[in-house]
Structure formats: structure tokens, C-alpha cells
Amino acid sequence: MPANSMEELVSLCKRRGFIFPSSDIYGGLQGLYDYGPLGVELKNNLKAAWWRSMVYDRDDVEGLDASILTKPTTLQYSGHEATFTDPMVDCRNCKGRFRADHLEAAKCPNCGSGDLTEPRDFNLMFKTAVGPVDDGSSFAYLRPETAQAIFTNFKNVLDATSRRLPFGIAQIGKAFRNEITPRNFIFRVREFEQMELEFFVRPGEDDAWHERWVELRLEWWEQQGVPRDRIELYHVPQDELAHYSKATVDLMYHFPHGVEELEGIANRTDFDLGAHSKGQADLGITSNVPDNRDSNARLAVQDLEAKKWFVPFVIEPSAGVDRGFLAVLNEAYQEQDLGDGKSRTVLSLPSHLAPIKAAVLPLKRNHEGIVAKAKGLKQELQRLGLGRILFEDTGNIGKGYRRHDEVGTPYCMTVDFDSLEDNSVTVRSRDTMEQSRMAMADIPAFLRENLAS
Ligand code: ATP
């Protein structure tokens, strides 16, 4: 069980090239981070695992990759313009601005002054000008969630694929929120990625599907190395629900800074599809949401037997990639005592998430024969399509093993003088630290078997 501090994770991320503060050489920009050489691999692997489980392993989900810039009308009818706000107070003394619901006393957390304004709503959406003239007349929002483009594309996807309920649309992509107090490393940032599924079901079947998706998502996190007993379920009380939700279950993970939301699984009812539809009265549909005078689409489906139209309900598992990254890293990170005053840092990632799957190390730097053999092995293994295989010519094998333990590389292969004669190499395992000799010809099958998870 990890008992890691955020500082340990931040330090590993910077030192080994997982994550850097954004705009670092200019002093940084608060609430933004850049993923480095290993971070981008781990993040891509996490997203690929989600996509595989949502789109490839199921036969009732289609994918989508929609624009980030979003027409204001979309976010007007979705309710985000009116409600996507946090209550803020300003300190008249130091001019600091804070979330009213995060204040512990009626005092400024910065300077301690009690001279605070009344709470005011602050919209979290970023705006940007569209087109050559920036006079405020033509702007778009940077989407605050990926979900809305799934709803506005509902009919396009349905027409293109002839799907029947229940079916889902999955999307992974950036979302932006002007968080007042970005903090806790990549936990709360202003630019992040979401992995969202909108799963459309018949009204009446929504509660059962909601429960099912909570279970499926817990199973998935377990496969990423985040065990069930490290996640608490929070059934959001009625008075805290978002405007579109009938019921929401948050998966609360034990992050290093506390138990907080990793993923939210909401029953969004027929709110969004209804809100983006033009009047549907002539289809016999009455809706609880205000009439939409700007949309030209009807986001409804027909019940062929009953010959009736209805608006599907939607269950939404919405996970943060960055929070997922942090959880996976936290679970995998261990300081191991090896006895005799020795220790090692090891990242016990599931192999499908490891940034580097195997490293090929020549025993002797610049030795023509050994280097050529090692490079040949790297190329051959790379072609297996298992992910990144690294050739690394640093010459210090012991240090190489330690470094690869620290970044989670499951296997290192050392090519030495004997390899030139017998075509075998030393294979060293991250988890057991055992070393064994293996014929080069057997390595592809070994990796295929041991890296498949
Ligand atoms: P919180 O209450 O922590 O602000 P939220 O309930 O507003 O989160 P949702 O709108 O449910 O979050 O978004 C779905 C997921 O997107 C969250 O579970 C989280 O993983 C991720 N997410 C939301 N806001 C951020 C953020 N500022 N930084 C990183 N990830 C975020």
C-alpha cells in the first residue's frame, strides 16, 4: 500500500522526465503542466487502455474526436453559461481571490484579513476570439467538458452507424476550466484531459445501467493498478448534484493529499439531448427543458414497436486522465528496502502502462560488435508493436537497472561479449530483480507473453 507524499511523486516526475511545470523557463504558469518524454508515453498508454476497454472490447460504443473550440450556443443550452460557476470572495486587503466554499473561516487564507467581499459567481469557462477582429462580437469557449460535443453529434453518429439503444459514444480530449485555486500538482489544473463515455439507454433502464457502469469502472481502475479498496464511492447528495444530474456516484481515490474525486459517474437523464433539440411536440415528445429556438436537430429515437419517439437517457462515466495518471503513479511508486542499508525506488506499473517496455543495454560502450548486436535486437523487438523499446548506450549496467526500476521498465536486456558467440543475452526483471540468460531468438515470444496484460 503506498504511503507516498506528493513531494516524492513531483520530484520523480521532474527528475525522470514525466512532468514539468509549464512555461518553466519563464517562471511557470499556474495550474498548467507539460508531460515529458516518459509522461507522454504513460499518459498515452492510459488513454489507450481506456479506449480499448470502451470501444474495442465492447460492441456497443463508437468513438469521436470533436473540436475544442465550442460555439457559445452549445454551452448556453447545456446550462454551462448560467451555472458553471464557483462562488468567489475577494480580499479587499491583499486583493487575493478565493473559493467561498474552500474558506475555513471568514478570513483571507493569504493575509488573514476579515475584510472580504460577499461571494460572487465566477464563470469557469475560458473564452477566445474567433476570426481576425477581436471586438468581442465573435468568440468561442474552450470546452469545459468533452461531453457536449458528443450530444451535439448524437444524430450524426446515429445516422452514420445505425446504432440502436443501448449504445455509447466515447471521447478522449482536452478540457479547460479557469479554476480559482489550481493545486495539488496535476490534480486540479486549468487544462486537463478527460475520458468520457456517454452511454444512451431507454428511460427506465437508466438506474440499472448506472449501477453497472460504476462496477465496470471500478474493475477497469483495478486493471490499471488502482485497487478497489483504495477507492471510496460517494453518492452525491441531492442538493449537491449538477443541474443535469439525477444521481451521481463519484469514485474517490486516496490521493497523497487526501480522498478526492478521480472519476464521476452521472445519470444525466434526457437533460442534454432534450436541451439541444428543437421543439419536439409534433413527435409527441414533451420535454422538461426550455424550448430550443436555435437548434435544427431532434435528438430523439423511435420506439419501432410502440411507434413512439423518445429522448434517450444517458449514463456518463467521466474520468480525468491527469488524475488517473496521478493515481496510477501513486499506486506504483515504492521505496524498497533491500537490506544491508540498500534501497531502491521502483515503479511497479502494470506492463501495459509502462512508458518503456524493455531496454536493450550494451555491456561495453562504443564496442562495435556489441553495440551492433544490441541495436539489431532493439529494432527486432520494436517491430513486435508492444510499445517503446529503448536502446541505451550508457555503459553502466548497474546504474541502468536502477534507473529503469525507477521509471517502471519491466525488463532490461544486456548484450555482452558472450552474446557475440552464443546469441544469448541477460534478461533482468524489474519486479524480481532476477537475471537469467536467454537465447535472443526466444525473446520476442517471452516479451509477447509477459507484456500482454
Ligand atoms: P471537482 O469537484 O474535483 O472540481 P468536478 O466534479 O467538477 O471535479 P467533473 O465535472 O465531474 O469534475 O469532471 C469529470 C472528471 O474530470 C473529474 O472526475 C476529474 O477527474 C476531471 N477533472 C475535472 N476538473 C479537473 C481539473 N481542474 N483538473 C484535473 N482534472 C479535472
CB of 192 within 6 A of ligand 1: the answer is yes
Looking at every residue in the chain, the average pLDDT score rounds to 94
Residue 280 in domain: no
User: Is residue 288 predicted with pLDDT exceeding 60?
Assistant: yes
Pocket test for ligand 1, best of 194, 251, 272, 322 (most atoms within 8 A of CB): 194
Ligand 1 mean position, distance from CA 265 (Å): 11
The residue whose C-alpha atom lies closest to atom 8 belonging to ligand 1 is 261
Lowest mean pLDDT among 104-113, 190-199, 426-435, 443-452: 104-113
**Which helix H or strand E contains 16, and what residues bound it?**
helix 6-16
Ligand 1 centroid – CA 251 distance (Å): 11
Residue 397, pLDDT above cutoff 90: yes
What angle is formed at CA 240 by the lines to CA 262 and CA 258, rounded to 5 degrees?
35
Asked if the structure places residue 315 within a domain, the reply is no
Q: Distance from the CA of 195 to the center of ligand 1, in angstroms?
A: 11
Rounded to whole angstroms, the maximal C-alpha distance in the chain is 82
**Is 2 a member of any domain?**
no
pLDDT at 121: 85
Q: Using the atom order of ligand 1, give the atom closest to the CA of residue 248.
A: 11
Say yes or no: CB of residue 404 within 6 Å of ligand 1: no
Atom of ligand 1 nearest to the CA of 187: 29
pLDDT at 1: 60
If you measure from the C-alpha of residue 197 to the centroid of ligand 1, how many angstroms do you get, rounded to a whole number?
Answer: 15
Total of domains in the chain: 1
Cβ of residue 268 lying under 6 Å from some atom of ligand 1 = no
Confidence at residue 3, expressed as pLDDT on a 0 to 100 scale: 63
- 320 CB within 6 A, ligand 1: yes
Residue 261 lies in a domain: no
Q: Is 276's pLDDT higher than 80? A: yes
Residue nearest to atom 21 of ligand 1 (CA): 320
**Residue 453 has what pLDDT?**
56
Q: How confident is the model at residue 304 (pLDDT cuts 50, 70, 90)?
A: confident
Is the CB of 248 inside a 6 Å radius of any atom of ligand 1?
A: no
Q: Which atom of ligand 1 is nearest to the CA of 263?
A: 18
Closest by Cα among 377, 384, 342 to 363: 377
What is the whole-number distance in angstroms between the Cα of residue 320 and the centre of ligand 1?
A: 6
Binning pLDDT at 50, 70 and 90, where does residue 5 land?
very high
Instruction: List the one residue out of 433, 255, 266, 216 whose CA is nearest residue 343.
Output: 433
The three-state secondary structure class of 258 is strand
At 204-242, the pLDDT tens digits run 999 999 999 999 999 999 999 999 999 999 999 999 999
231 falls within a domain? no
Check pocket membership of 43 for ligand 1, CB cut-off 6 A. no
Cβ of 80 below 6 Å from ligand 1: no
Q: For a pocket test of ligand 1, which of 185, 192, 233, 326 has the largest count of ligand atoms closer than 8 A to its C-beta?
A: 192
Predicted confidence (pLDDT) at residue 188 exceeds the cutoff of 90: yes
CB of residue 172 inside a 6 A radius of ligand 1: no
If we measure between CA atoms, which residue out of 138, 119, 118 comes closest to residue 128? 138
Nearest alpha carbon, ligand 1 atom 20? 320
Q: Are 357 and 410 in contact (CB under 8 A)?
A: yes
- 280: DSSP letter: -
Q: What whole-number percentage of the chain has pLDDT above 90?
A: 84
Is it true that the peptide bond before 290 is cis, omega within 30 degrees of 0? no
d(CA 161, CA 172): 20
- Compute the distance between CA of residue 111 and CA of residue 256 in angstroms, rounded to an integer: 27
- Range name among 59-63, 286-290, 310-314 with the lowest pLDDT average: 286-290
- Is residue 76 a part of any domain in this protein? no
Asked if residue 430 belongs to a domain, the reply is: yes
How far, in Å, CA of 46 to CA of 224, rounded? 8
- The model's pLDDT over 310-361, given as tens digits with 9 standing for 90+, comes to 999 999 999 999 999 999 999 999 999 999 999 999 999 999 999 999 999 9
Which is more confident, 169 or 283?
A: 169
Provide the domain limits for residue 372: 356-450
Distance from the alpha carbon of residue 95 to the mean position of ligand 1, in angstroms? 27
430 lines ligand 1 (CB under 6 A): no
**Under 8 Å between Cβ of 269 and 244:** yes
Given a cut of 90, whether residue 277 has pLDDT beyond it is: yes
Say which CATH number the domain at 362 has: 3.40.50.800
Question: Closest ligand 1 atom, CA of 323?
Answer: 20
Give the pLDDT confidence of 125-147 residue by residue, as tens digits: 999 999 888 777 799 999 999 99
